[in-house]
A and B are shown apart, each in its own frame.
Chain A
């Protein structure tokens, strides 16, 4: 994504004293990555030293211990998404899972067809994989999204033809947190014998994911977005109704049913499994808590600032996500003002490309408002006191920057900024 993590600056303004119970800097960028849950670390630790064995070593207890850890993890992941253990393939993370799913299907079903459908707001791990396949002669349809960030199912229906082999649409968007109508997409795919992959990186552990009920054939999973470790992920590969086959992209010792060779990252896998087990247990209360914190942040900001716009559907959305544009204020300058808080911006200035977020542009958000956007990602370890502090710092910084903004001044004078002939255009 084009949003970059804001690094907390050492030069944090001295006058900003943390209120009681709040430790600065505050981490509120949980779509980028999550801190690891201490319970996950605890479960992983024995697998670095005592149980260091290779899970593929079948002939001694070191291997068995490692294998046991891996299989427990496999069960926990499968249980969380309604799959069976044989359907879980471990990878190095969701980017690899996306690559494996898309390239794996493309190669396996090449004789059946060469058409793939995805959406413009997908993660780069999906978009760039599709772009590469275009070079190899595949046809890719990039579906637009509606103003709320959701695809139109009629667009999907129209895009499908007899050469379509794969539809890949993400479960939850990493920038705006909107949830695609996954079950309906899967149903359309199954009616037409098309395989459905979903990048569920942001969704798993946050909202209920059920591969059977939601008609999912392939799902990408990441450890570090759900309070697990980095460098580990998984791909769900459906085994019946229909049985999905994929070509491997990493060849070697034939691990993971031949779909992904390479010695298993046992501590990472154990951590991912524990993260899933915790999510299974705590998701109902946690999603409720996160939505409460998110709404509190939103309401506090919106009650005190005007011309603040929420990007993406407010109804179909991850509980911890808030993505808002503060008109007349540029995102990076806002991040600089709240430098004791780690959040992201869709502003071009935070990216190397100088282009604002392609996700926000796809919603029809003007470039000016895309430059003014901030993504808040509230997570398991955020508190109400932190939310209040963040809201207050955002409000005061936006107010200060608006006083500095020629656009705000012009708007107040009644000038329609859209009518101005800008020198740069």
Chain B
């Protein structure tokens, strides 16, 4: 199987590799996939609580080159977007951008899942933080 130039570029120079403090209230963490299936993605976002803009995104991925590229691209795309805008990213956008072949579509699905899971985690934190904040006042 040959890889598209964009997949190779992301594989050789992955963007935004790393981790953020997952206990921070501004950080949402999505961990999707399973080692048994050969793909695990961890995608983290740091959201500005006033603007809801994703200011920082980090990822780590266990998976094939296409999985690494999909998650690397996902971090690039979510950065600078509001949480709601980020939720509009669809796996087929990733497929198109990276020219993924049909057998690799599941990598893009996983990347979309990772974005959703990270945002979901962040939202949960905001909701559970609200009543606490109200009480404090």
Contacts and interface: CB of A to CB of B under 8 A. Distances in A.
Interface stretch (B58-66, B74-82, B83-91): B58-66
A332 B106 CA distance: 15
Contacts of A42: none
Q: Which of A368, A403, A404, A408 has the most CB of B within 10 A?
A: A404
Interface in B1-33: 1-3, 5, 8, 11-12, 14, 17, 19, 31-33
A368 B64 contact: no
Interface string A330-352: 10110011000000000111101
B115 interface: no
A333 B34 contact: no
B46 interface: no
Contact of B68 (A9, A333, A348, A356): A333
Contacts of B8: 9, 11, 336
Interface string A350-375: 10101010000000001110010000
B3 to A, nearest CB: 7
A337 B68 CA distance: 12
A425 interface: yes
B56 interface: no
Nearest to A347: B38
A371 B61 contact: no
Which bucket holds chain B's interface residue count? 35 or more
A17 interface: no
Contacts of A408: 62
B35 interface: yes
Given A9-B3, A409-B19, A371 B11 contact: no
A367 B60 contact: no
A326 to B, nearest CB: 11
Nearest to B30: A423
A347 to B, nearest CB: 6
A336 B32 CA distance: 23
A397 to B, nearest CB: 11
Interface string A393-411: 0000000000111111100
A423 B61 CA distance: 15
A13 interface: yes
B117 interface: yes
A11 B37 contact: no
Interface in A304-344: 328-330, 332-333, 336-337
A367 B36 contact: yes
Given A333-B65, A409-B19, A424 B103 contact: no
A333 B40 contact: no
A246 to B, nearest CB: 39
Contact of A330 (B1, B32, B34, B38): B38
B12 A330 contact: no
A403 B62 CA distance: 10
Contact of B61 (A332, A356, A405, A422): A405
A399 to B, nearest CB: 14
Q: Which 8 interchain pairs have the tightest Cβ spacing?
A: A422-B34, A368-B35, A424-B34, A406-B42, A367-B36, A332-B64, A349-B64, A406-B60
Interface of B: 1-3, 5, 8, 11-12, 14, 17, 19, 31-42, 60-68, 103, 106, 113, 117
17 contacts: A9-B3, A328-B62, A333-B64, A333-B68, A336-B11, A349-B66, A356-B38, A371-B38, A404-B17, A405-B60, A407-B35, A417-B35, A422-B35, A422-B36, A423-B34, A423-B117, A425-B34
